[in-house]
Amino acid sequence: MKRTIIYTSIIGALLLFMAFVILVSPVEKLQPTTITDRAIASHFWATIDDLSFELRSDGVYIEQRLPSDRFNELVQISVHEDLNLTAVNGTLEDGKAIIVANSKILSFIPSQYRLRYSPSVKNGRVILALEEAKIGRLPLSKSAVISSLAKSKGEMLEVDEEDNIVFIGTPRSLQFQEAKIEDDTLYLAFQIKINSITDVLELANFMMPEQLLDIIKRQLLRSRGDDIGNCYRTGL
């Protein structure tokens, strides 16, 4: 009798473990995200073909459209290696930003996370409000996701734990005015305002297209005078 109970308990535990493994296992097939891929993705600012801009008295107004594949590049360079993700993919669907990532539980159980965000603008910053989170086929606590992201030190991510919001980290001189998804494309509208030399240096390190930097330099020469102009000639 005791053996029967023991065997039944062992079989039950194994079945539960197998069910758990199946439920958290990857649902979508993703290609591994390599360091090389991230290096290539880091040049998503390398062209101004998808930018439109206008010179104004208080700065440069810019509109940009990021299709789903470019958004995927942005997602890949935003992920910090400490998160131990083997593959990451970002898509734009039905007005939402969806991020899917492969990882492992206890270092040997394959799992997949699926996060759905809604983009908007708050206080001049682009934000992605977390609407849904899943691990495999199971719902996942949004607070758990935010806590995990809060530990990340990725180059493009900041986290507001109180509001469950992920901020896309950009130089403070970039003041966003609009962020929305239409036809599987992320539309961004923002203005660049230079108030100090620090703003200038932050922009120079933010993978800006050289053509756009030249436009900003000319704008500064007109609005700030020769002192800042000389700083550009010697430092940039």
The angle, 0 to 180 degrees and rounded to 10, between the axes of the packed helices 226-235 and 197-204 is: 30
Structure tokens at 216: 């900003």
Give the confidence band of 232 by pLDDT, cuts at 50, 70, 90.
very low
61 assigned to some structural domain? yes
9 assigned to some structural domain? no
| Residues 6+ away with beta carbon under 8 Å from 3 | none
46 and 149 co-located in one domain: yes
Mean pLDDT of the chain: 76
62 and 170 co-located in one domain: yes
Number of domains in the chain: 2
Q: Which tops the pLDDT comparison, 69 or 221?
A: 69
Q: Which tops the pLDDT comparison, 124 or 221?
A: 124
4 assigned to some structural domain? no
Write down the pTM of the prediction: 0.74
Q: Which of 2-11, 43-52, 193-202 has the highest mean pLDDT?
A: 2-11
The pLDDT score that the predictor gives to residue 236 is: 47
187 and 199 co-located in one domain: no
13 assigned to some structural domain? no
The pLDDT score that the predictor gives to residue 217 is: 66
Q: What type of residue is 179?
A: A
| Residues 6+ away with beta carbon under 8 Å from 50 | 64, 65, 66, 70
19 assigned to some structural domain? no
Separation between Cα atoms, residue 18 and residue 85, nearest integer Å: 22
Percentage of the chain beyond pLDDT 70 is 69
Under a CB-based contact definition with an 8 Å cutoff, are residues 98 and 116 in contact?
yes
Range of the domain at 187: 26-191
Please write down the long-range contacts of 139-144, taking CB distance under 8 Å and 24 or more positions apart. 140/113
Separation between Cα atoms, residue 192 and residue 56, nearest integer Å: 10
